[in-house]
Amino acid sequence: DQQVKQNSPSLSVQEGRISILNCDYTNSMFDYFLWYKKYPAEGPTFLISISSIKDKNEDGRFTVFLNKSAKHLSLHIVPSQPGDSAVYFCAASEYGGYQKVTFGTGTKLQVIP
Amino acid sequence: EAQVTQNPRYLITVTGKKLTVTCSQNMNHEYMSWYRQDPGLGLRQIYYSMNVEVTDKGDVPEGYKVSRKEKRNFPLILESPSPNQTSLYFCASSLGGGQPQHFGDGTRLSIL
């Protein structure tokens, strides 16, 4: 049972445009969400996070939106750059810190120059 | 430099031959975890540890063992590897399970 789903395996975007990556979850106990970026032959690196008490969090070109009623979060990258080409994973955990973490299946983003 | 170090990076071995993948972190993190990455399945958590001598199962613990005798080390043990454990493995550490994790560069295991 996949509790965290990324339904788009891949996405192509022109440089300078907005990239929108989506993530859906089913477990209503999740209340802390993270996005990671992964380049080939490297481990994932943390990008941005959001807790359930917020509906938006921004960090530079990256913004994460959380819609708790729809159990949906999205990552917006504006403007997209070729260096953003990577696989993006969303992850979720139950608040409290010392819990199991569930990752989505990943979306491969290609930013075309 | 903050690091999670996994060894080996690559290993080809045969069914049934016990192996250990080591993981060490230098950030004094309490939480450590192991994941496997498979095509179409993303990252799946195998085991995690909340502190020394405290471990718990993730989503796919069958066929794996872990131990946490020291804060910095969290080895993954495959007592009797099988071909379905061929995968890319990542170790990670963080201040807490929901906190941003630092990942190692991965260990690619091939079990023939």
Of residues B1 and A59, more confidence is placed in: A59
- List, edge to edge, every strand of the sheet that includes B4-7: B4-7, B19-25, B76-78, B65-66
Chain A positions in Cβ-Cβ contact with residue B103 (cut-off 8 Å): 36, 43-45
- Checking if the pLDDT of A96 tops 70, the result is no
pLDDT digits (tens, 9 = 90+) for A21-65: 999 999 998 989 999 999 998 999 999 999 989 999 999 999 999
C-alpha neighbours within 13 Å on the C-beta side of residue B67: 8
Q: How far, in Å, CA of B80 to CA of B95, rounded?
A: 32
pLDDT digits (tens, 9 = 90+) for B77-107: 999 999 999 999 999 999 876 688 999 999 9
Which stretch of DSSP H or E encloses residue B78? strand B76-78
Q: Which residue of B has its CA nearest to A1?
A: B59
Q: Which residue has the tokens 């481990």?
A: A43
Q: Which residue of B has its CA nearest to A31?
A: B98
pLDDT digits (tens, 9 = 90+) for B31-84: 999 999 999 899 999 999 989 999 999 999 999 999 999 999 999 999 999 999
Chain A positions in Cβ-Cβ contact with residue B90 (cut-off 8 Å): 43-44
Beta carbons of A97 and B96 less than 8 Å apart: yes
What is the pLDDT, as a whole number, of residue B2?
Answer: 86
What is the pLDDT, as a whole number, of residue B1?
Answer: 86
Q: How far, in Å, CA of B11 to CA of B107, rounded?
A: 8
Backbone angles phi, psi at A83, to 5 degrees: -70, -10
Q: A17-52: b or e for each residue (b if 16 or more CB lie within 10 Å)?
A: eebbbbbbbeeeebbbbbbbbbeeeebbebbbbbee
Put simply, whether B24 touches A (Cβ < 8 Å) is no
- Report residue A82 as tokens: 């070729």
Q: How far, in Å, CA of A16 to CA of B89, rounded?
A: 34
Rg (CA), chain B: 13
Nearest to B52 by CA among B36, B37, B66: B66
